[in-house]
Structure 1
Amino acid sequence: MLVLVGLVLCLASVDALTAFPPKFLVGKLNGDVVVKCNTSEQRVTWTQNGDPEPMAELVAKGQTLTILGLDLPATGNYSCWAGTVLLDTTYVVVSGPCEKGMNVSCQAESYRGSFHCSWTGPRSSIFRARLTRSDGSLGEWVPAAGHRGRFSASFADPSFCPFAEELRPLQLHLEGLSDTSYLNFSIRFFVRDIVRPDPPQELTVQRLGEQLHLAWAPPASWPLPKSYFALLYRLQYELPNGTQVDKYVEGTEETWMQERAQRVRISCQDPYANPAWSPWSPWQDVSAAQQSQLRAR
């Protein structure tokens, strides 16, 4: 799993936005900001958050409005009007000096070019993310789901080839917005560095005397052919005294054990890229395995 730590701007807000506004403008704290009205009208009036008396020092000239000394009370939705006709709106936010750490974690279940990212952020904010793909093309903005300061989004790179060597990293660009503030953050990574397979499936255990025969299948999400996308398996079994022992198997999906195991489980890993191990499969109770005569293989 890829974990990156960055510095981002604090987002102060009273009420969270629900979606990114069509137009927004980011200004420096205590700096001047020029808002432009997209219209051919020469005489317009302005409102801030619907109020005709904005909480800011303003200089209006034709189709432009200059906010002098931008601060948090001066942020919000600035609208220009021709009488009662709405002409244009721009959401103004501030990039303040307050900094806070943000953790970004991305994980892929295989080499299919799709992955999932999550990160932390202020609860009062909304996020969106965009992927610069391996061929250099730019993806669409993806709205992030958020809950109690934890945000996530899923992505896919249709140009990704699982059989080719990765020569260029992907770039993920995050944007966050509250009622008053904005953040902007990017990370770069290779898919090979974030692959964490799903658990192996269909683990079966058969007992014959003092021997155990274990068989399993690779994760359903793992690409084929097996000869190219090999997996290293890690079997863990528990002895009657509670001791847990690991056994590693590569190049096959079955093995024999003579130990008096009580239960077993299995995990897997790409042995060449050396990413994270998969989650464990559920424990398989050996005592429930029926004794049977195995066919000759």
Structure 2
Amino acid sequence: MTGGISRVSYSGMLLLGPGTLPLLALLALPLSWVQVGKLNGDVVVQCDTLEPHISWTLNGEQEPMAELVAEGQNLTILGLDLPATGNYSCWAGPVLLDTTYVVVSSTYEEEMDVTCQAESYHGSFHCSWPGPPSAVFRARLTHSDGSVGLWVPVAGGHGQFSVSLADPSFCPFGEELRPLRLHLEGLSDTSYLSLSRHFFLRDIVRPDPPQELTLRWQGEQLHLAWAPPASWQLPKSYFALLYHLQYELPNGTQVERFVEGVEETQVQVGAQRVRISCRDPYTPPAWSPWSPWQDLNAPQ
């Protein structure tokens, strides 16, 4: 192979797009090897055969528009560009001998906005990102103890992708000493993408909204009570939450209150409606989404 070219093991993933083999052919013939070349670089494709006389096709075309030089069992692509990507097949007459799928090493990785979020400290989280519409992705996680997880397929399409992952070695009661490492690989009909992101779970925690808002009288005082998100880590005494309440008075004035470590507070009599948010008080300020506005029909 020429400098800057690599073959990437990509078993079990399906290629999409006009330059690929038909889907049924991919299911019957796993495309385990993809050759990645640099844009405008030369790529040497090898035919795994001892046949002395072979011919080549690109995406089924016997006379591809790409600049190609055939010599023995090798085919050199001169100045790889996007139209020259695709399925290169070598033939002995009508007999298919070997197939290599050639793609360009993408420079899109740094532009990909990968967003990860955890609901609590269970060790699981969800990531999403935009990508090329024709791409398929897989993901792998290096855990907090340094072990490497298996590749998992990524859901999505039409330019939006997402995956849920978990670190089985994560301890919610211990200090995070090393970050998690998310590795993504993507393959489109023309390009190969590879990128990594490093982060601590504590930095991506964003709780779900609090739940079960209730209103009751205590003597002549009106009290609002609620429960932590169902997904939040227990016990509550250790995993406390900071709550942000916002309630609206009859004249339209909005009153805000912050309480920590408790799940009830006094509300001004006459409040019309209320909503509530929460966050971990000891991590970066990632507030949960607001709960829906709830009308307060004060009990008598």
Q: Does structure 1 conserve the Cα–Cα contact (< 8 Å) formed by 2:134 and 2:157?
A: no
One-letter code of the match for 1:251?
A: G
Say whether residues 1:211 and 2:221 are aligned partners. yes
Aligned equivalent of 1:127 = 137
Q: Cα offset for 1:254?
A: 1.7
Which residue identity lines up with residue 71 of structure 1 in the other structure? D
Question: 1:7 aligns to what?
Answer: none
Distance 1:74 1:54 in 2: 8
Whether the 8 Å contact between 1:192 and 1:275 is mirrored in structure 2 is: no
In 1, distance between residues paired with 2:107 and 2:230? Answer: 47
Unaligned runs of 5+ in 1: 1-12, 292-297
CA offsets 1:21-63 (integer angstroms, 9 cap, x no match): 43212111221112234x4534454322122333333344454
**Residues in 1 aligned to 2:31 and 2:220: alpha-carbon distance in whole angstroms:** 68
Is 1:116 equivalent to 2:126 in the alignment?
Answer: yes
1:285 aligns with 2:295: yes
Q: Give the secondary structure class of the aligned counterpart of 2:291.
A: coil
Report if the CA contact (8 A) 1:16-1:126 is conserved: no
Q: Output the amino acid matched with 2:199.
A: F
Distance of aligned partners of 1:199 and 1:25 in 2 relative to their CA distance in 1, 3 Å threshold: same
Q: Which amino acid aligns with 1:165?
A: E
Residue 194 of structure 1 pairs with residue 169 of structure 2: no
Give 5+ residue unaligned stretches, structure 2. 1-15
Give me the CA root mean square deviation: 2.8
Kindly indicate which of the two structures has a greater share of residues assigned to strand.
1
Q: Higher mean Cα deviation, 240-249 or 82-91? A: 82-91
Scaled by the length of structure 2, what TM-score is found?
Answer: 0.81
User: Hey, what does 1:260 align to over in structure 2?
Assistant: 270
Contact 1:200–1:267, Cα closer than 8 Å, also in 2: yes
How much identity, in percent, do the aligned residues show?
73
Shift of 1:237: 0.7
Matched, 1:237 2:247: yes
Post-superposition offset of 1:86: 3.7
State the SS of the aligned residue for 1:103: coil
Letter in 1 for 2:256: D
Task: Measure how far apart 1:69 and its partner are.
Answer: 2.0
CA distance in 1 between partners of 2:203 and 2:19 (Å)? 34
3-state SS in 2 of match to 1:227: coil
Cα distance change on mapping 1:132 and 1:63 into 2, 3 Å: farther
**What does residue range 5-154 of structure 1 map to in structure 2 within 5 Å?**
15=18, 21-37=31-47, 39=48, 41-43=50-52, 44-95=54-105, 101-154=111-164
| Conservation of the 8 A alpha-carbon contact between 2:246 and 2:255 | yes
CA distance in 1, matches of 2:278, 2:263: 11
Residue 142 of structure 1, CA deviation: 3.0
Total equivalences in the alignment = 277
Higher normalized contact order (CA 8 Å, seq sep 6+, divided by chain length):
1
TM-score by length of 1: 0.82
Tell me what 2:258 maps to. 248
